[in-house]
Amino acid sequence: MKNFVQPGDAITVAAPANVNAGAGVLIGSLFGVALTTALSGASVEIQTTGVVDITKAPSQAWTVGALIYWDAANNRATNVASTNKLIGLAVAAVAGGAGDTIGRVRLNGAGVN
């Protein structure tokens, strides 16, 4: 197919702020996880699909299959919808202790709402 550009699992965007590798990046309705560290405005490749371990809200238990959202105000994943953007599903249960700050998410790879 001559109009195919790329698979889209990872794409290059301008970093909306300084980002560290492994951090969530939200640009409008596009969400991904930074594959490298980049300064604001610099090109950064973000993973838009697949399963990633990502910073989550502490003291929040997750169950497998729970909808996961991006809390842009706090730069972390959460299971609270509110005004947050849907980014995927939890694929591993996580306890709700104060030290439980990493969650495993299958990114939905579509524009977030």
Q: How many domains, in total, are found in the chain? A: 1
Q: Is residue 113 domain-resident?
A: no
The mean pLDDT value for 31-42 works out to 96
Q: Is residue 77 domain-resident?
A: yes
Q: Is residue 75 domain-resident?
A: yes
Strand partners, 26: 31
Q: Is residue 2 domain-resident?
A: no
List the CATH number of the domain containing 20. 2.40.300
pLDDT at 94 over 60: yes
Pairing type for strands 67-71 and 102-108 reads unpaired
Q: Is residue 34 domain-resident?
A: yes
The predicted pLDDT at position 56 comes to 95
Q: Is residue 72 domain-resident?
A: yes
Given strand 24-27, what is the order of strands in its sheet?
10-14, 43-47, 30-34, 24-27
User: Domain of 84?
Assistant: 10-108
The predicted pLDDT at position 5 comes to 82
pLDDT in tens, 65-75: 999 999 999 99
The mean pLDDT value for 2-13 works out to 86
